[in-house]
Amino acid sequence: MAGIHRFYRESATLSPFGQVEEAIARYTSAHPSQKLFRMGIGELSQPICPAAVNAMKQAAIELSKAETFRGYQPECGAGFLRRAIASHYQARSIPLSSNEVFVTSGATEGLSGLSDLFAADCRVQIVEPTYPAYALLNRLQGREIFRMACLPDGRLPLPDRSCRADLIFLCSPNNPTGAAADHTTLKAWVDYANEQEAVILFDAAYEAFVTDPTLPRSILEIEGARSCAIEIGSLSKTASFTGVRLGYVLIPHQLKRDGIALADRFREHCAIRTNGVSYIVQRGGEAVFTPDGQAQIRRALDIYRRNASLWKQTLSSLSLPYGGGTHLPFLFFRCPNGMSGWELFDRLLSEKQVVGMPGEVFGPFGKGCFRLSALSSPADTAEAAQRFFEAINKL
Q: Compare residues 332 and 392 and give the one whose CB is closer to ligand PLP.
A: 332
| Nearer of residues 175 and 353 to ligand PLP, judged by Cβ | 175
Residue selected from 118, 131, 192, 322 as contacting ligand PLP according to rule CB under 6 A? 131
Q: How far is the CB of 145 from ligand PLP (least distance, A)?
A: 17
22-30, 84-92, 102-110, 115-123 -> range binding ligand PLP (CB under 6 A): 102-110
Establish if 359 lies at the interface with ligand PLP (CB under 6 A): no
Min dist CB 181 to ligand PLP, Å, is 13
For ligand PLP (CB under 6 A), the number of binding residues is 13
Per-residue string for binding with ligand PLP, 166-185, x by CB under 6 A?
-----x---x----------
Whole-number minimum distance, CB 112 to ligand PLP, in Å? 9
Stretch that binds ligand PLP, among 18-26, 101-109, 178-186, 257-265 (CB under 6 A): 101-109
Q: How far is the CB of 1 from ligand PLP (least distance, A)?
A: 33
> Min. distance of Cβ 266 from ligand PLP in angstroms?
17
Among 75, 128, 203, 207, indicate the residue that binds ligand PLP (CB under 6 A): 203
Under a CB-based contact definition with an 8 Å cutoff, are residues 89 and 250 in contact?
Answer: yes
Query: Binding marks (x or -) toward ligand PLP, 210..249, rule CB under 6 A?
Result: ------------------------x-x-----x----x--
Residues between 8 and 37 with contacts to ligand PLP, criterion CB under 6 A:
none
Tell me the torsion sign for CA atoms 23, 29, 30, 32.
Answer: positive
- Closest distance to ligand PLP from the beta carbon of 106 (Å): 3
Smallest separation (angstroms) from ligand PLP to the CB of 128: 12
**In angstroms, rounded to a whole number, what is the distance separating the alpha carbons of residues 325 and 312?**
7
Is 205 an interacting residue with respect to ligand PLP (CB under 6 A)? Answer: yes
Judged by beta carbon, residue 345 or residue 352, the one nearer ligand PLP is: 345
Q: Is residue 107 part of the contact set for ligand PLP (CB under 6 A)?
A: yes
Residue 236 CB, shortest distance to ligand PLP, in Å, is: 3
Q: What does R_g of the chain's alpha carbons equal in angstroms?
A: 21
- Identify which of residues 232 and 392 has a Cβ nearer to ligand PLP in the complex: 232
Q: Which is nearer to ligand PLP, 198 or 375 (CB)?
A: 375
Binding piece for ligand PLP, criterion CB under 6 A, among 71-79, 100-108, 319-327, 359-367: 100-108
CB of 391 to ligand PLP, least distance (A): 25
Residue with smaller CB distance to ligand PLP, 124 or 392:
124
- Terminal Cα distance for the chain, rounded: 55
Q: Show Cβ contacts of residue 18 under 8 Å, excluding neighbours closer than 6 positions.
A: none
Helix orientation angle between 133-140 and 107-117, rounded to the nearest 10 degrees: 40
Site string for ligand PLP, 133-172 (x = CB under 6 A): --------------------------------------x-
Residue 56's nearest CA partner among 293, 251, 217 is: 293
Least distance CB 100 / ligand PLP (angstroms)? 19
- Secondary structure in 3-state letters for the chain: CCCCCHHHHHCCCCCHHHHHHHHHHHHHHHCCCCCCEECCCCCCCCCCCHHHHHHHHHHHHHHCCCCCCCCCCCCCCCHHHHHHHHHHHHCCCCCCCHHHEEEECCHHHHHHHHHHHCCCCCEEEEEECCCCHHHHHHHHCCCEEEEEECCCCCCCCCCCCCCCCCEEEEECCCCCCCCCCCHHHHHHHHHHHHHCCCEEEEECCCHHHCCCCCCCCCHHHCCCHHHCEEEEEECCCCCCCCCCCCEEEECCCCCEECCEEHHHHHHHHHHHHCCCCCHHHHHHHHHHCCHHHHHHHHHHHHHHHHHHHHHHHHHHHCCCCEEECCCCCEEEEECHHHCCHHHHHHHHHHHHCEECEEHHHHCHHHCCEEEEECCCCHHHHHHHHHHHHHHHHCC
Give the footprint of ligand PLP on this chain (CB under 6 A).
42, 106-108, 131, 171, 175, 203, 205, 234, 236, 242, 247
